Amino acid sequence: MPELSPRLQLVAKYILDHPSDFGLDPIRKTAHKSGVSTYTLVRLAAHLGFASYDSLREPFRMALVDTASPAPQPGWLESLSEKGEIGKTQAEAAQNSLAIVSRSLEHQNPGQIARIVEMLLEARTVYITAVRASYGLAYYLHYMGRMALPSMQLIPRHMSSAIDELHNASKEDVLIAITFDPYSRETVEACAFARERGAKLILLSDSEVISSAFQADEVMLVTVLSPHHFACYSGATAVIEALVSHLAKQIGPDAIARIKSYETLRNKTNAYSTAPKKH
């Protein structure tokens, strides 16, 4: 991506983010959707070494042929659609969540997961960053993950910035960044800064390419499509939970002991509400 001109970067990112549409749509429709001219599409194909635009598109078209047929809907979901507008809206939201969880988990390759887990276990510090709506995901990953892996650190803390927290980052460290379209400027700048410091970068996002300013070591690709204006994070949450499961499994007894010690501490300090005993 850094070697491409701005216009070629734009269309290349569109192809990566919308492979199915690219395989189906004629060239004029793809040009309209990606915001470039048909000439730019042809120029990208030539730049990548293809004999023609159709040669570039052909692998994407062939991939669509192998797409599995959708799984049948559960009975409870079908019955919701028969219960008025509220039922239809609920059914649409539920169907979307089920679909993006399935699709997001399908994206995760065991070989890549193994590399990510090894990277995290070997790191001196594992920084986790996100802002705005994505911050909830980062907090969730840190809250659960630190019990298995104490080296995890959520940034930014207090009133500082993520870059402040990364000031001492080096090749011994890893940054996990979470961001989705439209991509946060703070998160993109933190990623670029971490790479400048030599830190490894793991990106949890809806695209493999969010900026030409840096390249991630690993991208955990998830789907955030939704029937409403905002992104749906159920797929990203499922991937985070799977990652924590891998970490706890790899660390073994030490992780279990740390988790139990947290539970013991919380019980001693009355962290959980309990029902009053009957006399």
- Domain 6-64 architecture: Orthogonal Bundle (1.10)
- Domain 107-267 architecture: 3-Layer(aba) Sandwich (3.40)
Give one DSSP letter per residue of 101-118, joined into a string. HHHHHHH--HHHHHHHHH
Share of the chain above pLDDT 90, in %: 50
Distance in angstroms between the alpha carbons of the first and the last residue of the chain: 70
Dump pLDDT digits (tens) for 121-154.
999 999 999 999 999 999 999 999 998 899 999 9
Q: What pLDDT band is residue 67 in, cutting at 50, 70 and 90?
A: very low
> Where do the structural domains in the chain lie, given as residue ranges?
6-64, 107-267
Q: How far apart are CA 135 and CA 54, in angstroms?
A: 41
Cα 32 off chain centre by: 27
* pLDDT above 60: residue 244: yes
Q: How far apart are CA 151 and CA 120, in angstroms?
A: 9
Three-state DSSP state, 219: strand
The predicted structure's pLDDT at residue 204: 97
The DSSP symbol for 2 reads T
Q: How far apart are CA 234 and CA 95, in angstroms?
A: 12
Q: What pLDDT band is residue 108 in, cutting at 50, 70 and 90?
A: very high
Structural tokens at position 53? 């635009």
* pLDDT above 90: residue 189: yes
The predicted structure's pLDDT at residue 68: 43
Q: Comparing C-alpha atoms, which of 104, 97, 102, 99 is closest to residue 222?
A: 104
The DSSP symbol for 91 reads H
Three-state DSSP state, 204: strand
Q: How far apart are CA 259 and CA 121, in angstroms?
A: 17
What does pLDDT average to over the chain? 88
